Amino acid sequence: MHSSFDAIIIGAGHNGLVTACYLAREGWKVLVLERRYIVGGACVTEEVFPGFKVSTAAYVNSLFRKEIVADLRLRDYGYEVLERNPSSFSPFPDGRYLLLGPDADLNHREISKFSRKDADNYPRYEAMLERVAAVIEPTLTMSPPNLQRPRLGDLWNLFQLGRAFRRLGPAMSEATEILTGAARPILDRWFESEQLKATLATDAVIGAMAAPSMPGTAYVLFHHVMGETNGKRGVWGYVRGGMGGLTQALAKAAKDLSVDIRCNADVSQILANGGAVRGVALANGDEYQAPVVASNADACVTFTKLLDAGQLPPEFAAAVERINYDSASLKINVALAELPNFRACPMATDSGQFAGQQHRGTIHICPDLDTIERAFDDAKYGRPSQQPILECTIPSAVDPTVAPPGKHLMSMFIQYAPYKLRGENGKAVSWDQLRDGFADRCFDLLNEYAPNFKGSVLDRQVLTPLDLERTFNLTGGNIFQGSMSLHQLFFNRPVPGYANYRTPIRGLYLCGSAAHPGGGVMGAAGRNAAREILRKG
Ligand SMILES: Cc1cc2nc3c(=O)[nH]c(=O)nc-3n(C[C@H](O)[C@H](O)[C@H](O)COP(=O)(O)OP(=O)(O)OC[C@H]3O[C@@H](n4cnc5c(N)ncnc54)[C@H](O)[C@@H]3O)c2cc1C
């Protein structure tokens, strides 16, 4: 079969859909090919358990760019974000707990339970992050300059960035530390309470194969404060109906713009001749022609699986080989008969149905920073953490549409579960063998904090890093399509010299989180890529 389009998008992740919409708005005839049965990539809602709307992978939203919501009128297509107040709840083994959220008075009261000094410092810490965000955030929507072959525009962008940095004045060194350093020394300097530091530090290691004492984690922490919910900075929310509420809205917008979206369409080859792209071939043999192809798949998939090595310059192929996909994230989705009743904050009634403030936000099961460090130590030697770090959310506590009446849904994001396992006594071991034992360990841990938890479990879905790779085609199970360390960010993402969404093959672009500004449900990569494609050349 030979069909012709102006552009083909490989993958219907949220970024691929964003690119498709922006091209179609300019009158382009666009085809989106998705290998799964459903659009959305890692930003998806699936009925994993009958009657439950499960956000299979990504589970909270804050980073998605508001200009895309406006441009594509996504609210008209049903996209709605529900705020979470409080936004986090951390129960501790000594029976105390910490709530944090958008309410400054609540934060002060809560942190004061552990340290009055930290409570006073907390707004200053947030203001410091805000100052740095004001400099960094504009870079999210720009195409990074090319330092290898700079043009006048690249030099101008660099100059502007330098000027913005200079405006930070004495805060410049702290900003540099945030971009390059470790989260732990920063948190240790600002705060004394382990409870507060542990709660904040979990954001520094999400999706990272790193402990908070390791360089690069401060940026991961910072990456998580650059969003907003309904105009409120740094606030994370639930998408009504699960994260697929966003990608279904994008797909509807795309269809209204005449984008042709085809699921169960596994691209097996990018077709190129004489250094220029000419289309794609599917695993079933179908071929589609287009002078422009944008890949929403990660760089390893795009350049090593869909293209022949000989089609790429050797130095580019070598740079792709060096991309770090280390990962240690595991997700468990759980259907619950009732809400967890935490020892540290028992429910007013024991009916198990009425959500309290402890259920609305992210529930951190992590007593102190050293626990995270030790959990990472296991992963460093190729073992799943003995005492993992759990980040649980119960979207049904805020959005009743995601679970049947009276039932609840929990998402558990867990670290560290290293993709690369080291077997015992020379024997190889696979996640297919460890999956259930490790999930049981996580359940036992949560049960220590909420003793009714295990008894309330109706069903569970365990996604090890290997399952994430198999399901979403994420190399190494890396949730960000490549680690978010400085050498893989901005003008180095995906590789130096190619951060402007172009590739060595003319007409072939990257449009997903493998490109700047990286992972998270943000849409910026998709929008930036569309801008470059429309600029052409
Ligand atoms: C478990 C997990 C939890 C996360 N939690 C959050 C969170 O709470 N909040 C947040 O902001 N971010 C979170 N993230 C990160 C975020 O989900 C991703 O960074 C983001 O969704 C990536 O979007 P994307 O469009 O760039 O790529 P993807 O979502 O990876 O989409 C790529 C698409 O391309 C398709 N594809 C790949 N190869 C082919 C092929 N050969 N042919 C056809 N189609 C192909 C894939 O099937 C997929 O649909 C999480 C990620 C994971 C995995």
Distance 385 CA to ligand 1 centre (A): 25
pLDDT at 221: 87
Residue nearest to atom 35 of ligand 1 (CA): 11
Cα(393)–Cα(415) distance, rounded to whole angstroms? 15
Cα(47)–Cα(278) distance, rounded to whole angstroms? 37
- What is the DSSP code (8-state) at residue 305? I
Helices (H) then strands (E): counts for the chain: 17, 22
Pairing outcome for strands 30-33 and 7-10 = parallel
Can you give the length of the chain in residues? Answer: 537
Closest by CA to 519, choosing from 162, 41, 83, 166, is 41
Tokens standing for 534?
A: 């429309």
Pocket test for ligand 1, best of 45, 296, 305, 413 (most atoms within 8 A of CB): 296
Distance 382 CA to ligand 1 centre (A): 25
Q: Is the CB of 64 under 6 A from ligand 1?
A: no
Residue nearest to atom 50 of ligand 1 (CA): 58
**Is 323 in contact with 430 (CB distance < 8 Å)?**
no
Tens-place pLDDT, residues 269-281: 999 999 999 999 9
Instruction: Say which amino acid occupies 104.
Output: A
Q: Is the CB of 296 under 6 A from ligand 1?
A: yes
Pocket test for ligand 1, best of 45, 480, 489, 513 (most atoms within 8 A of CB): 513
Torsion, CA 484, CA 488, CA 492, CA 496, rounded to 10: -150
Distance 117 CA to ligand 1 centre (A): 40
Mean pLDDT, 10 residues at a time, over the chain (537 residues)?
85 98 98 98 98 98 96 98 96 98 96 98 93 89 91 89 86 89 96 98 93 93 83 89 98 98 98 96 98 98 94 96 97 98 87 83 97 98 97 98 97 98 89 98 98 98 98 98 93 95 98 97 98 87
Residue nearest to atom 21 of ligand 1 (CA): 42
- Report the 3 state secondary structure along 46-107: ECCCCCCCEECCCCCECCCCHHHHHHCCHHHHCCCEEECCCCEEEECCCCCEEEECCCHHHH
Tokens standing for 172?
A: 């410049």
Distance 506 CA to ligand 1 centre (A): 25
Q: Is the CB of 86 under 6 A from ligand 1?
A: no
pLDDT at 350: 56
pLDDT at 349: 65
Distance 188 CA to ligand 1 centre (A): 33
Pairing outcome for strands 97-100 and 88-91 = antiparallel
pLDDT at 353: 65
Distance 13 CA to ligand 1 centre (A): 6
Distance 44 CA to ligand 1 centre (A): 9
Residue nearest to atom 10 of ligand 1 (CA): 520
Distance 147 CA to ligand 1 centre (A): 28
**Is 274 in contact with 267 (CB distance < 8 Å)?**
no
Q: Is the CB of 42 under 6 A from ligand 1?
A: yes
Q: Is the CB of 507 under 6 A from ligand 1?
A: no
Tens-place pLDDT, residues 139-180: 999 999 998 889 998 899 888 888 888 888 888 888 899 989
pLDDT at 2: 55
Q: Is the CB of 16 under 6 A from ligand 1?
A: yes
**What is the end-to-end Cα distance of the chain in Å, rounded?**
29
Q: Is the CB of 395 under 6 A from ligand 1?
A: no
